[in-house]
């Protein structure tokens, strides 16, 4: 049998280039970004050291220390307890002292370590003396630049020679009261925490165990002893001792070339100019979603119509043709048509992440969020929620306190994710045509929806923080990465990965839901009118068939609940389908207004059908007021089973996803009711 592949963990502070190095060494495509919190789970891949040896490289979420008060730090600690043969710590050479704090903790745990001193290319003057660093820390130190690939060959050689190296624990002299605490705690440690690392694990327990922590595997006797001996000054004394050692032992780092980044920050972080830049960037992004994507949307619509017409001509008349044309091509096609806009949205989000602007936006919004009881660091996963709520929910693992994570999870689904984009675009295009005076009305409405959802999320966080999830506010502690030019490959990779997820959903969830809704709309079938019947008779049969279908019956059943919002039973059918996935609303509306009708290359797009829809009295069904009410409902309702599943996974039960579903649905109904009824009273109906 071949020997087992050695396991090497890649560890480091957030935003030190750790995942970039992982991709360089393994030829992988892990997500890379210029703000903390990109990696929220462990990723592994094979790395070849030379022609004869391969290792399994594990990319661990970035953490500032091993004090496990956040899920990302728990993952890091668990990785060390799982016993990798070696830990490669990626250290930012431009922030040497702060980054070496993590190395110091590992040295106290007797973990075999290699330091990869990254971002050497960003220093001016003489770089740090790696030999002196190695002597102080008793670990190999290799200068590299993951961005330019400099020094990677030397790093692989050092990793190979360090795989079987044993390490002795680094012993620091702590104050007498801390030493007494350690002596009392070490006998209570579980067996797997003993040996050379027992003193380091006692330090870890003294700093990590709290009354409201979510740590697992802590013996009751150890937990009780820590809580009994822990004081408000324990953490401060330990941290001060470690930094005093580093300050006394590590030479001053070289200067850093970042004058341009500092000048940019003077504008982006300004309390007035910064918000102005944020608004301008958002408006430009939303305008581009319409002006840049519209030609591509037209091409996709035309291709779907041509494909539908071809299927009608090739396939024989009957249910199979209806299924293929209306269920598969029409249903999924009505969603895929918005792929150009979704790709553009991911493109802009990728630029903001890679450039470092995302972290600036979080610092800017902290001034608003701390007044509402939410930590500014929560704005990073909330901004990620603009793309998709599922990875955004996972990104809450970067937050230390359980209360902050839960509070952020409860409001992330209120952020306008890309799944809402097809619904918004459809309704805006149908009900708010371009103005002759050139005003970007569509972009302004789209931006207003994003601002509205963000404002509601912040207010909801304040209310939940005062009621369901009470707790004290903690200040934002997050490093600002330097502004950098975005990496085109990384941005395009993000577009490809997110676009592929969207298409896979269109090919699975959306397709299944669309086919199920087609069946509900098509059965039970009424006898068709005879061939050559008058057009009015055929239209009457189509309306009767649609209204008497199982889906029509469901729509009529919920109509009393949604009628006060301005919705009819046909919209109710769309809402029912959208509770599986928001995008399904678009394909459902395509089915509702296409079932029984002729489909060919000249068939009008769905947006034109909505604009032409009339009520029995001849008035428009979709008025601007109805459109706003419907978009507000979609902005606030929790219509995504994947998000609920992610919350269930992160919270470990059904309590919080159930609460999330009902509070968001109630919120959506109340807001839509107020908007529609208020508009009616003001004569806007």
Provide mean pLDDT across the span 587-601. 64
The confidence score (pLDDT) of residue 259 equals: 65
Q: Within 13 A of 570's CA, how many CA atoms are on the CB side?
A: 20
Tell me: the pLDDT tens digits for 110-150?
889 999 999 888 776 677 888 889 988 889 999 999 988 99
DSSP readout, 531-596? TT--HHHHHHHHHHHHHHSHHHHHHHHHHHHHGGGT--HHHHHHHHHHTTBTTHHHHHHHHHTTTT
Tell me: the pLDDT tens digits for 238-284?
999 999 999 888 876 555 556 677 788 888 888 889 888 988 887 78
Tell me: the pLDDT tens digits for 204-236?
899 888 877 777 778 899 999 999 998 878 888
Burial class (CB in 10 A: 0-12, 13-18, 19+), 357: buried
For residue 46, give both structure tokens. 């094979």
Burial class (CB in 10 A: 0-12, 13-18, 19+), 372: middle
Whether 34 is in a domain gets the answer yes
Q: Higher-confidence residue: 619 or 350?
A: 619
> In what helix (H) or strand (E) does residue 343 lie, and over which residues does it extend?
helix 339-355
3-state class (DSSP) for residue 16:
coil
SS3 content of the chain, % helix, strand, coil (to 5): 60, 5, 30
Burial class (CB in 10 A: 0-12, 13-18, 19+), 517: buried
The confidence score (pLDDT) of residue 252 equals: 62
Query: How many residues are there in the chain?
Result: 685
Phi–psi pair at 8, nearest 5 degrees: -120, 125
CA distance 514 to 269: 46
Q: Which range is most confident: 250-264, 537-551, 609-623?
A: 609-623
Provide mean pLDDT across the span 360-387. 74
3-state class (DSSP) for residue 683:
coil
Whole-number Cα distances in Å, 318 to 307, 532, 596, 623: 18, 17, 11, 35
CA distance 597 to 587: 15
Is the predicted pLDDT of residue 34 greater than 70, yes or no?
Answer: no
Residue 547's pLDDT band, with cuts at 50, 70 and 90, is confident
Q: Higher-confidence residue: 344 or 245?
A: 245
Whether 31 is in a domain gets the answer yes
Whether 539 is in a domain gets the answer no
CA distance 265 to 596: 59
Residues forming a β-bridge with 420: none
Tell me: the pLDDT tens digits for 43-77?
788 999 988 899 999 888 777 888 866 655 666 77
Tell me: the pLDDT tens digits for 385-437?
887 787 778 768 767 677 888 899 999 999 988 889 889 999 998 999 887 77
Is the predicted pLDDT of residue 685 greater than 70, yes or no?
Answer: no
Q: How many domains does the chain have?
A: 1
Helix 339-355 with 421-431: angle, nearest 10 deg: 120
Nearest to 86 by CA among 197, 163, 27, 186: 163
CA distance 338 to 583: 10
The confidence score (pLDDT) of residue 597 equals: 47
Whether 16 is in a domain gets the answer yes
Residue 174's pLDDT band, with cuts at 50, 70 and 90, is very high
Is the predicted pLDDT of residue 315 greater than 90, yes or no?
Answer: no
What radius of gyration do the chain's Cα atoms show? 29
Provide mean pLDDT across the span 155-175. 90
Segments forming the whole domain that contains residue 83: 7-162
Residue 380's pLDDT band, with cuts at 50, 70 and 90, is low
Has this prediction a pTM greater than 0.85? no
The confidence score (pLDDT) of residue 332 equals: 75
Buried b (16+ CB within 10 A) or exposed e, 117-145: bbbbbbbeeeebebeebeebbebbbbbbb
Whether 93 is in a domain gets the answer yes
Give the CATH number of the domain where residue 78 resides: 3.40.50.300
Fill in the DSSP letter of residue 640.
B
> For the chain, what is the mean pLDDT?
83
Q: Which of 427-436, 472-481, 529-538 has the lowest mean pLDDT?
A: 472-481
Whether 495 is in a domain gets the answer no
Residue 604's pLDDT band, with cuts at 50, 70 and 90, is low
CB atoms within 10 A of CB 607: 23
Q: Which of 155-159, 387-391, 431-435, 569-573 has the lowest mean pLDDT?
A: 387-391
Q: Higher-confidence residue: 502 or 663?
A: 663
Q: How far is CA 189 from the centre of its chain?
A: 37
Query: In sequence order, what are the residues at sequence separation of 6 or more whose Cβ sits closer than 8 angstroms to the Cβ of residue 158?
Result: 114, 140, 142
The rounded percent of the chain whose pLDDT value lies above 90 is: 29
The confidence score (pLDDT) of residue 386 equals: 81
The confidence score (pLDDT) of residue 35 equals: 43
Is the predicted pLDDT of residue 372 greater than 80, yes or no?
Answer: no
For residue 568, give both structure tokens. 């009819």
3-state class (DSSP) for residue 486:
coil
Provide mean pLDDT across the span 607-630. 90
The rounded percent of the chain whose pLDDT value lies above 70 is: 89
Which pairing describes strands 86-92 and 113-118: parallel, antiparallel, or unpaired?
parallel
Q: How far is CA 680 from the centre of its chain?
A: 38
Whether 15 is in a domain gets the answer yes
Between the two ends of the chain, the Cα-to-Cα distance in Å is 77
Is the predicted pLDDT of residue 377 greater than 70, yes or no?
Answer: no
CA distance 401 to 476: 12
CA distance 648 to 660: 10
Nearest to 650 by CA among 393, 460, 418, 413: 393
Is the predicted pLDDT of residue 596 greater than 50, yes or no?
Answer: no
Whether 388 is in a domain gets the answer no
CA distance 176 to 68: 24
């Amino acid at each position: 049998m071949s020997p087992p592949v050695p396991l090497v963990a890649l560890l480091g502070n957030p935003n030190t280039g750790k995942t970039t190095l992982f991709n360089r060494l393994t030829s992988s495509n892990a997500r890379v970004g210029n703000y903390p919190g990109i990696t929220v789970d462990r990723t592994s891949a094979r790395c070849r050291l030379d022609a004869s040896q391969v290792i399994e490289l594990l990319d661990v979420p970035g953490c500032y220390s091993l004090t496990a008060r956040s899920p990302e730090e728990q993952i890091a600690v668990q990785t060390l307890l799982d016993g990798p043969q070696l830990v490669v710590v990626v250290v930012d050479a431009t922030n040497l002292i702060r980054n070496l704090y993590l190395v110091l903790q590992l040295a106290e745990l007797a973990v075999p370590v290699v330091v990869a001193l990254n971002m050497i290319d960003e220093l001016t003057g003489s770089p740090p003396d790696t030999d002196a660093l190695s002597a102080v820390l008793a670990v190999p130190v290799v200068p590299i630049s993951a961005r330019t690939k400099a020094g990677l060959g030397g790093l692989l050689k050092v990793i190979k020679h360090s795989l079987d190296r044993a390490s002795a624990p680094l012993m620091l002299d702590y104050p007498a009261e801390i030493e007494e605490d350690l002596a009392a705690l070490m006998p209570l440690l579980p067996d797997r925490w003993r040996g050379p690392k027992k003193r380091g694990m006692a330090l870890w327990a003294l700093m990590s165990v709290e009354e409201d922590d979510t740590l697992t595997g802590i013996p009751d006797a150890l937990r009780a002893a820590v809580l009994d001996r822990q004081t408000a000054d324990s953490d401060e004394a330990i941290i001060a001792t470690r930094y005093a050692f580093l300050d006394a032992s590590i030479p001053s780092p070289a200067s850093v070339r970042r004058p341009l980044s500092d000048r940019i920050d003077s504008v982006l972080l300004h309390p007035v100019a910064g918000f102005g830049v944020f608004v301008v960037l958002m408006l430009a992004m939303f305008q581009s979603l319409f002006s840049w994507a519209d030609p591509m949307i037209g091409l996709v619509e035309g291709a779907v119509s041509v494909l539908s017409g071809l299927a009608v001509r090739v396939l024989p008349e009957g249910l199979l043709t209806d299924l293929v044309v209306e269920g598969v091509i029409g249903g999924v096609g009505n969603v895929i048509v918005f792929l150009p806009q979704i790709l553009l949205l991911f493109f802009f989000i990728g630029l903001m992440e890679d450039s470092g602007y995302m972290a600036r936006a979080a610092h800017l919004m902290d001034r608003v969020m701390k007044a509402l009881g939410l930590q500014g660091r929560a704005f990073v996963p909330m901004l990620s929620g603009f793309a998709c709520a599922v990875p955004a929910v996972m990104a809450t693992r970067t937050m230390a306190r359980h209360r902050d994570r839960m509070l952020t999870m409860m409001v992330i689904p209120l952020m306008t994710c890309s799944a809402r984009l097809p619904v918004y675009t459809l309704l805006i295009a149908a009900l708010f045509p371009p103005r002759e005076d050139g005003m970007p009305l569509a972009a302004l409405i789209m931006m207003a929806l994003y601002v509205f959802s963000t404002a509601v999320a912040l207010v909801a966080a304040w209310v939940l923080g005062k009621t369901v999830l009470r707790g004290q506010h903690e200040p934002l502690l997050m490093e600002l990465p330097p502004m950098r030019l975005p990496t085109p490959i990384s941005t395009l990779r993000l577009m490809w990965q997110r676009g592929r997820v969207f298409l896979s959903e269109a090919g699975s969830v959306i397709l299944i839901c669309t086919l199920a809704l087609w069946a509900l709309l098509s059965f039970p079938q009424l006898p068709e009118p005879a061939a050559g019947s008058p057009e009015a008779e055929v239209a009457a049969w189509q309306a009767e068939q649609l209204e008497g279908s199982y889906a029509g019956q469901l729509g009529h059943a919920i109509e009393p609940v949604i009628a006060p919002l301005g919705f009819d039973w046909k919209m109710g059918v769309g809402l029912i389908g959208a509770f599986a996935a928001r995008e399904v609303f678009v394909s459902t509306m395509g089915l509702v207004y296409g079932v029984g009708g002729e489909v060919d290359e000249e068939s009008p797009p769905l947006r034109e059908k909505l604009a032409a829809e009339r009520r029995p009295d001849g008035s428009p069904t979709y008025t601007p007021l109805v459109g706003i009410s419907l978009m507000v409902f979609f902005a606030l309702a929790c219509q995504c089973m994947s998000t609920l599943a992610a919350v269930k996974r992160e919270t470990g039960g059904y309590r919080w996803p159930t609460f999330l579903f009902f509070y968001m649905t109630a919120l959506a109904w109340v807001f839509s009711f107020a908007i529609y009824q208020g508009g009616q009273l003001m004569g806007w109906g």
